[in-house]
Chain A
Amino acid sequence: MIKIENLTKSFRASPALDNINLQVPRGSIFGLVGPNGAGKTTLIKLIMGILLPDRGRIYIDGNDVHQNPGIKSRIGYVADYQHYYPTFRVKEMIRLYRETYAHWSVERFAELRQIFKLTEDKKIKHLSKGMRAQLAVLLNLSIRPALLVLDEPTSGLDPVLRRQLLNILLDEAARGETTIFISTHNLNELERICDRIGTIHNGRILFDESLEKIKQHVRKIQVAFAGEPPEGFLEQSAVLKAERQGRVYTIVVREDANQLMAELERYRPLLLESVDMSLEDIFIYRMGGVGYGFEKFVAQ
């Protein structure tokens, strides 16, 4: 379990994280999303105990990361690019982990070793990006982590490897012992595997919700009229955002927009349908709401 309390961090004068509070239960998968420069990496570095906070505390399974550094032996970390010693061979890297981490599990390693196709005699510098990622996952799951942190774990992986990695993470979460924390830009992936998703922007957690909730908040409908549209229908409070392309209005509405729908229905529209919103749509829409959008580039 991760518990973050009133976490604040700044670099010189510029604030990076502003009073973050977050809780991730054991055996669940948390996804962290946010635009570039939002503070994702800073948060990860603080959780890993690499950076010291200005204020606030981080507990991993009840241990303060900065007060009890011993807990770090229970944290696995898969970076987006693995900076392992380039001249080490794979088997030397494995040995380094085995001898460094007290909870290294021979059985778990053997189990995972069958999934990954790695040549143990190869040097790290001769490994492809995908192979390095596989090695990192193999090593960091074999240490029996209480917390596994992954930073853009699937970037640069082919679809087969990506799916395999996601399934390994799901299997690990299903065992119920590990808390998994993923930072990523790939929203479609998060959608399937996360319990909760947190959105970070300008050093603050804006939303921290289950996926179901996120999807319930907003809905997108498309409507077109033969003649003039009913007067002022876009001014209703249920309408959050509207765009027009020719006859077709695409409007983002609140979930409780049934009344609006019924009203529009009476005008016998040529088209009136609910369009599913992907997590990516919702994210872009919401970031627009906090001043990080690109509406200006959308043709009116």
Chain B
Amino acid sequence: MFNIDQRSSTPIYLQLVQEIKEAILKGILQPGDKLPSVRELSVGLTINPNTVQKSYQELERQRVIETLRGKGTFVTMHYQPNQDEEKFNLLKEELKKLLVEAHYLGLTRDRMLKLVRQLLDELKMKES
């Protein structure tokens, strides 16, 4: 279900956090769905169990998932993507870099906007 690229310089636990969030955005995982146990995911992806644990802790901290004692880990019922100022700025910077690159690639303003819309549709992000 999730893809881990061990060559990437992004730490494996962050990759897993991203992958799980993406799965929720795409609706592959839905609010209330049960996530695999740490052990299952560790063996399934061949990654260290403490790495999986760390990802789950991070997702819990961000209130994306919650652990119910003795029952397992679930996608939070009312998952609200939070607007962390710092993260927002970071995202903005990243986006800026990509836009500069797109410009050097010769992409027009319209094509860039079209591309963003297309990707949003692909990820099934709804207008709110």
Residues on A facing B (Cβ under 8 Å): 27-29, 163, 166-167, 170-171, 173-175, 188, 191-195, 211-212, 215, 219, 274, 276-278
B92 CB-CB contact with A under 8 Å = no
* Minimum CB–CB distance for A151 against chain B, Å: 20
Q: Cβ of A193 and Cβ of B48 under 8 Å apart?
A: yes
Q: Please give me the residue from chain A that is nearest to B47 by CB atom.
A: A192
Q: Cβ of B49 and Cβ of A173 under 8 Å apart?
A: yes
Interface size bracket, B side: 10 to 19
Task: With a 10 A CB-CB cut-off, give which of B11, B38, B50 has the most chain A CB atoms.
Answer: B50
Q: Cβ of B49 and Cβ of A191 under 8 Å apart?
A: no
Residue-by-residue, is B22-57 near A (CB-CB < 8 Å gives 1, otherwise 0)? 000000000000000011001100111110000000
Residues in B neighbouring A276, C-beta threshold 8 A: 7-9
Q: Pick the contact of B43: A29, A170, A278 (CB < 8 A).
A: A170
Residues in A neighbouring B7, C-beta threshold 8 A: 276, 278
A166 to B49, CA, bound (A): 12
A27 to B38, CA, bound (A): 13
| Residues A191 and B6 in contact in the complex (CB < 8 Å), given A28-B50, A29-B48 | yes
B12 CB-CB contact with A under 8 Å = yes
* Minimum CB–CB distance for A107 against chain B, Å: 17
Residue-by-residue, is B76-110 near A (CB-CB < 8 Å gives 1, otherwise 0)? 00000000000000000000000000000000000
A92 to B38, CA, bound (A): 36
Q: Pick the contact of B48: A192, A215, A274 (CB < 8 A).
A: A192
Given contacts A174-B42, A212-B11, 18 further A-B contacts (CB under 8 A): A29-B48, A163-B46, A167-B43, A170-B42, A170-B46, A170-B49, A171-B39, A173-B42, A192-B6, A192-B48, A193-B46, A193-B47, A194-B48, A195-B48, A212-B13, A215-B9, A215-B11, A277-B9
Q: Please give me the residue from chain B that is nearest to A189 by CB atom.
A: B46
Interface residues of B in 1-18 (CB under 8 A from A): 4, 6-9, 11-13
A278 to B6, CA, bound (A): 8
Q: Pick the contact of A174: B4, B8, B13, B39 (CB < 8 A).
A: B39
Task: With a 10 A CB-CB cut-off, give which of B7, B9, B38, B48 has the most chain A CB atoms.
Answer: B48
* Minimum CB–CB distance for B97 against chain A, Å: 10
Q: Cβ of B38 and Cβ of A174 under 8 Å apart?
A: yes
Q: Pick the contact of A188: B6, B11, B38, B47 (CB < 8 A).
A: B6
27 A-B residue pairs with Cβ-Cβ distance under 8 Å, sorted by A, are A28-B50, A29-B48, A170-B42, A170-B43, A171-B39, A171-B42, A171-B43, A173-B48, A173-B49, A174-B38, A174-B43, A174-B49, A191-B6, A192-B4, A192-B6, A192-B46, A192-B47, A192-B48, A193-B46, A193-B48, A194-B48, A212-B11, A212-B13, A215-B11, A274-B9, A276-B7, A277-B9
Q: Please give me the residue from chain B that is nearest to A212 by CB atom.
A: B11
Residues in B neighbouring A188, C-beta threshold 8 A: 6
| Residues A167 and B9 in contact in the complex (CB < 8 Å), given A174-B38, A174-B39 | no
* Minimum CB–CB distance for B53 against chain A, Å: 9
| Residues A166 and B11 in contact in the complex (CB < 8 Å), given A171-B39, A188-B6, A191-B6 | no
